[in-house]
A and B are shown apart, each in its own frame.
Chain A
Amino acid sequence: MNASALIFIIIGLSLISYFSGRHRASVSAKSQTLIALPKHYGYMTAIWSGLPALLLIILWAMFKPAYLHEQIIQSLPASVILQAQDQLDLYVNSINLAIENGEPVEDPIMQKAMESYQVADSNSKWILTTLVFVIGLSGIIFSLTGALTKVQARVKVEKVIRIFLMLCSAVAIVTTIGIVLSVLFEALRFFEAVSFFDFVFGTTWSPQTAIRVDQVGSSGSFGAIPLFVGTILISLIALIIAVPIGLLSAIYLSEYASAKFRAIAKPALEVLAGIPTVVYGFFAALTVAPFIRDVGQSIGLTVASESALAAGIVMGVMIIPFVSSLSDDVINAVPQAMRDGSLGLGATQSETIKQVIIPAALPGIVGGVLLAASRAIGETMIVVMAAGLSAKLTANPLEAVTTVTVQIVTLLTGDQEFDSPKTLAAFALGLMLFVTTLVLNVFALHIVRKYREQYE
């Protein structure tokens, strides 16, 4: 039987096991006091019948290819095995192909290998099916014995549930670790070609690599400083826009606005967060950047048509809701008792906000700002469209700059080979970016934790 049919059998056996366990327990509940509810006995026997069998199928699916491969190898005569590894792989591959397609083959060695494969395959399936039935039925049989109600069913069921929940949370962690490792290994490959110090402290970014050794003008330089300066410049402009506007609007919404106004204004502000970043990109490139250039020219400044200022301003608008919405929530979470205490001493509303509410809400506000900052650092589309691609090392917001994320996109767009420093540099940049936002997040968590319970 194949795996999907087995899964249906397992589900069926578990259901039977559940009902028989529950029934048995509710019958014995009439004559004795149970230590758990009848449904807990049902869950327990269902888990007994189903879970080990499911795990068995998963293990089988994981180890079957290796096991069958081993069977093929063992059936081969020494003359075949002793050839070179790649030749052997090719040979085994053709056997596998023949098995998959079900074609008749002439070669007696191959035929023998196919036979032993099929025997092993059907044997293992038989063993698996038998085991699934044995496990499933053993749960049902146990549910019919008198021993059932002596077991701490609820405790056991809850233990299984707890382990399941733990595994779910482990998925997120394992994924994060996986991402970090994959980026890390590619980045290490990059650092084999380009020195770490040149990358981190270099001031020129010109990611070119030679196709031929004697090519002219092919020496690339991978100094990441201009990119990080560009990123920081744009993020700073964005935060300078977003933090005051977001914070002040949060204060207005939570402390002064009427309930009616707040009910309309807060969702309206949050719409900003729902606009796709690429739309912000149009807005920045087609409306804000030309406007800034025109204004700059009218007062005699040279402004590039793609400028850090345009990208920063639009990005700032984009992250306003992060600051305002989170700040609004934490300001609202400050207990009314704090306001009453301050007002009861004869403080005005603005004194209360400045001296009691904002300090009490500060950890949450800082958390919101740092979240907005990591959002700004990771933002790509607006910068691609409005700030340009030239990796210029400048602090002038009126010039075109580029950011880490934009360079990653340009390095990896198109048909690329993943063996030149040019493409591998993207991973190194990604790693640096990841470390930067990670540090920011850890910092934010630390601040939030340090002050969290202060007013409770």
Chain B
Amino acid sequence: MTTQVNGLDSLALRADDMATQNNSENLTADKHQDVEVLETIGENILENPKFSTRNVNVFYGEKQAIFDASLDIGQNEVIALIGPSGCGKSTYLRALNRMNDTIDSCRVSGQLKLDGEDIYDKKMDPVLLRARVGMVFQKPNPFPKSIYDNVAYGPRIHGLAKNSTDLDEIVITSLERAGLFNEVKDRLTAPGTGLSGGQQQRLCIARTIAVSPEVILMDEPASALDPIATAIIEELIDELRENYTIAIVTHSMQQAARVSQRTAYFHLGKLVEVGETNLIFTNPRHQLTENYITGKFG
């Protein structure tokens, strides 16, 4: 619009142009077209959360993997962490129960609180933290022990059972809640590694709930499974929500839509957008979220 124009025709033209320009300005204002993510959009802060994290930065050596992520996770909710590969969603998840401690070069800064307690405080014992915040991994990783011993492993080391009847009960309830008991009740002494992939993953879930954690972190729990096994796991997550807070990292947007109440979208280490799952999938507010959800990348 730098050229000088004279006359009525040109005036009308100019008005037209301005109208279209206004339109596109509205659009960009709506969608935050800029790729630079300045701050998280949406309801990342909750009242009375289970987990509260503020300005979390995670570094692997010199490389920064998470930038200033602030996110709350509510009581008894399922929150899905989605985003393209390498966006830092698994790293963020592993920061929540200090699993990143096992990686020498990894450093976490910021404030992470579980029920108001700083989990990176010197007084916090990561062993006790992980008993409260259990984790299910991407690849099923049953121990090379029997099915029974796999589930009994956690209760045994934490001394949760007073006697063997108690332990039997914990094992059986955990297997039942993981929806595995009927399939394995006749072969509890068989090795856990002999189960199918989907059964192994449910065994790992049973193993996790056997220590009665408050929060369960799931790192793409169904990515190595077939659709039927995935459906069983998803149903299970829905049932577990009654008693547990669950954070689940997933590559599948359908899965996030099916199992979660809230969804957080990560992009290149930044938390882009957080919101109610159905809103985020129907009406994403950030252009990057929309691009990812509509399949432009990821």
The residues of A with any CB-CB pair to B shorter than 8 Å are: 258-259, 335-348, 351, 355-356, 359-360, 454-456
Shortest A132–chain B CB gap in Å is: 60
Are B153 and A342 touching (Cβ within 8 A)? yes
In the complex, number of A-B residue pairs with CB atoms less than 8 Å apart = 77
Contacts of B191 in A (CB 8 A): 454
Contacts of A336 in B (CB 8 A): 102
Docked pose: A28 CA to B133 CA in angstroms: 70
Docked pose: A359 CA to B135 CA in angstroms: 22
Docked pose: A343 CA to B142 CA in angstroms: 13
Q: A344-B97, A351-B157, A356-B143 are in contact. List 8 more A-B contacts (CB 8 A).
A: A339-B102, A341-B204, A342-B143, A343-B102, A346-B131, A347-B127, A360-B143, A360-B144
Contacts of B137 in A (CB 8 A): 337, 340-341, 344
Are A259 and B99 touching (Cβ within 8 A)? no
The residues of B with any CB-CB pair to A shorter than 8 Å are: 97, 99, 102, 104, 127-132, 134-135, 137, 139, 141-145, 153-154, 157-158, 191, 193, 204, 207-208, 211
Are B158 and A346 touching (Cβ within 8 A)? yes
Docked pose: A340 CA to B130 CA in angstroms: 11
Are A359 and B145 touching (Cβ within 8 A)? yes
CB-CB nearest in chain B for A354:
B157
Shortest A12–chain B CB gap in Å is: 58
Docked pose: A17 CA to B130 CA in angstroms: 71
What are 30 A-B contacts with C-beta separation under 8 Å? A336-B102, A337-B137, A337-B139, A338-B143, A341-B142, A341-B143, A341-B204, A342-B143, A343-B99, A344-B97, A344-B99, A345-B131, A345-B153, A345-B208, A346-B128, A346-B132, A346-B157, A347-B153, A347-B157, A348-B157, A351-B157, A355-B157, A356-B153, A359-B143, A360-B143, A454-B191, A454-B193, A455-B143, A455-B144, A456-B193
Shortest B200–chain A CB gap in Å is: 11
Are B211 and A346 touching (Cβ within 8 A)? yes
Shortest B172–chain A CB gap in Å is: 18
Docked pose: A346 CA to B98 CA in angstroms: 11
CB-CB nearest in chain A for B210:
A345
Are A355 and B153 touching (Cβ within 8 A)? yes
Docked pose: A339 CA to B137 CA in angstroms: 12
- Assess A341 versus B130: contact at CB under 8 Å? Given A346-B157, A347-B157, A455-B193: no
Are B102 and A345 touching (Cβ within 8 A)? no
Docked pose: A150 CA to B115 CA in angstroms: 78
Report the 5 A-B pairs with minimum CB-CB distance, sorted nearest first. Answer: A346-B131, A344-B135, A337-B141, A454-B144, A346-B130
Instruction: Label chain A's interface by main secondary structure.
Output: helix
Interface residue from B104, B130, B193 paired with A345 (Cβ < 8 Å): B130
Contacts of A348 in B (CB 8 A): 127, 157
Shortest A431–chain B CB gap in Å is: 39
Are B207 and A340 touching (Cβ within 8 A)? no
Docked pose: A455 CA to B144 CA in angstroms: 5
Contacts of A339 in B (CB 8 A): 102
Contacts of B207 in A (CB 8 A): 341, 345
Contacts of A343 in B (CB 8 A): 99, 102, 130
CB-CB nearest in chain B for A336:
B102
Are A345 and B141 touching (Cβ within 8 A)? no
Docked pose: A338 CA to B139 CA in angstroms: 11
Contacts of B145 in A (CB 8 A): 359
Interface residue from A338, A345, A454, A455 paired with B154 (Cβ < 8 Å): A345
CB-CB nearest in chain A for B156:
A355
Shortest A333–chain B CB gap in Å is: 13
Interface residue from A259, A340, A356 paired with B104 (Cβ < 8 Å): A259
Docked pose: A456 CA to B127 CA in angstroms: 26
Shortest B141–chain A CB gap in Å is: 4
CB-CB nearest in chain B for A454:
B144
Docked pose: A38 CA to B208 CA in angstroms: 60
Docked pose: A356 CA to B104 CA in angstroms: 21
Docked pose: A348 CA to B102 CA in angstroms: 12
Docked pose: A346 CA to B211 CA in angstroms: 9
Contacts of B127 in A (CB 8 A): 346-348
Docked pose: A342 CA to B97 CA in angstroms: 13
Contacts of A360 in B (CB 8 A): 143-144
Docked pose: A259 CA to B105 CA in angstroms: 11
Docked pose: A456 CA to B194 CA in angstroms: 10
Docked pose: A171 CA to B25 CA in angstroms: 81
